[in-house]
Amino acid sequence: ETGVTQTPRHLVMGMTNKKSLKCEQHLGHNAMYWYKQSAKKPLELMFVYNFKEQTENNSVPSRFSPECPNSSHLFLHLHTLQPEDSALYLCASSQETGFYYNEQFFGPGTRLTVL
């Protein structure tokens, strides 16, 4: 595997289900991100993990719960979602040095549909 991978690629779930999205980066980076892409709206930052610590939570509802067990893996746990949460969820990673912000590399995304 190379780059940033995400599983599953497609997910359909009911509003009462609990599911998790997984992201893995094979680039040796130390920062990982979750973004949401809804129809007709710009990509929105959800969470940032830098050196495994969450540094940004962009006012995301608590039904989305991130987990970053190490610098290579990032999860997004989902529970009691709403139909408006249907979107493409993208994971990204970058190497942050603290001196300047570096290029972010994206995975292919998980297309989520909430029924």
Partner 1 sequence: KQEVTQIPAALSVPEGENLVLNCSFTDSAIYNLQWFRQDPGKGLTSLLLIQSSQREQTSGRLNASLDKSSGRSTLYIAASQPGDSATYLCAVTGGADGLTFGKGTHLIIQP
105 contacts partner 1 (rule: CB under 8 A): yes
Measured in residues, the chain has a length of 115
51 contacts partner 1 (rule: CB under 8 A): no
| Site residues (CB under 8 A) for partner 1, limited to 26-45 | 31, 33, 35, 40-45
Q: Could you tell me the smallest distance in angstroms from the CB atom of residue 108 to partner 1?
A: 4
With contacts defined by CB under 8 A, name the span among 12-20, 49-57, 59-67, 76-84 that binds partner 1: 49-57
CA-nearest of 53, 60, 55, 45 to 92 is 45
93, 107, 112, 114: which one contacts partner 1 (CB under 8 A)?
Answer: 107
Q: Which residues of this protein are in contact with partner 1, per CB under 8 A?
A: 4, 6, 31, 33, 35, 40-45, 48, 50, 55-56, 58, 90, 92, 96, 100-109, 111
